[in-house]
Structure 1
């Protein structure tokens, strides 16, 4: 089946991966202090502070799941935008999703480069601009889903809550 096939909803795998990535990103955003302490200690040469392992594992899982999700999207496709939706909303949705995908790759890769390569500018981008960009784009994504569901009543949100049979 090709990506051009029209789907009414997302597959079970797409839904599970979506929510697993959401959980991992929330974990990363809420519990990043151990990694920051470990990275600062490593760069200062003092060592021993913080525990980077949970952050590294969660980041690698985000990277793997994002790659799997891209493959599924390219092979299975995605549901079309709601009928009658203004074209501008479709463009905004496409741009938002594209940015989320880019950031789901850029953040783990910059983190891996920072930690394993000791590259401080990668760490600065990872914990600064890229992190803030992800937060902003995710807020836009959530707002869009809520507007679609409760204002436009398009049912878009349900596609990510209930997999297609």
Structure 2
């Protein structure tokens, strides 16, 4: 953080590690989830999809705790008020989705006519959640809606990061990239 103005401080190493680990797993799981019935059919990716989902859930709870106990760098001074509000809203929607998506998937697997225990990378079975078939069906619908919302938000988030990097050239992306020192704002 030395030599960087207050608006240019980068995120902590913990925040960066949580961000990129979850981002990679979410994007991978979006690909598995959205394409499993078409392009990935027959490859048996769904057990891995479930395992990654549970990993995202655990990491997301850790990330939320980290976020609530560590300060984030302030928004750049040049960002308009609406951009700051939109950025904050999108980040909190991400927090909600990275927790609700795995939970809805777990609930979906736990109920219905054929409950299915999820095994986590061959180490242990997760217990079935005490849900009814109706709740399981609703969880399936929510899981799909959350998945589409997550995909849209990921695209918007990446587009915004690229806008900051290549159009505005304001160093915002550097605050979250490991090993990159962000520019002054």
Contact 1:32–1:55, Cα closer than 8 Å, also in 2: yes
What are the residue-to-residue correspondences of 1:114-125 with 2, within 5 Å? 114-118=108-112, 119-125=136-142
Contact kept, 8 Å, 2:174 with 2:180, in 1: the verdict is: no
2:37 pairs with 1:10: no
The unaligned stretches of length 5 or more in structure 1 are 1-5, 37-49
TM-score by length of 2: 0.71
Structure 2 segments unaligned to the other structure (5+ residues): 1-6, 38-43, 113-135
TM alignment of 1:7-156, pairs within 5 A: 8-32=9-33, 50=44, 52-118=46-112, 119-127=136-144, 129-156=145-172
Matches of 1:115 and 1:103 in 2, distance apart?
Answer: 18
Distance of 2:20 and 2:26 partners within structure 1: 10
Deviation of 1:132 after TM superposition, in Å, equals 0.8
SS in 1 for 2:77: coil
Give me the CA root mean square deviation. Answer: 2.7
Q: How many residue pairs end up in the alignment? A: 148
- Measure how far apart 1:63 and its partner are: 0.8
What secondary structure does 1:31 align onto? helix
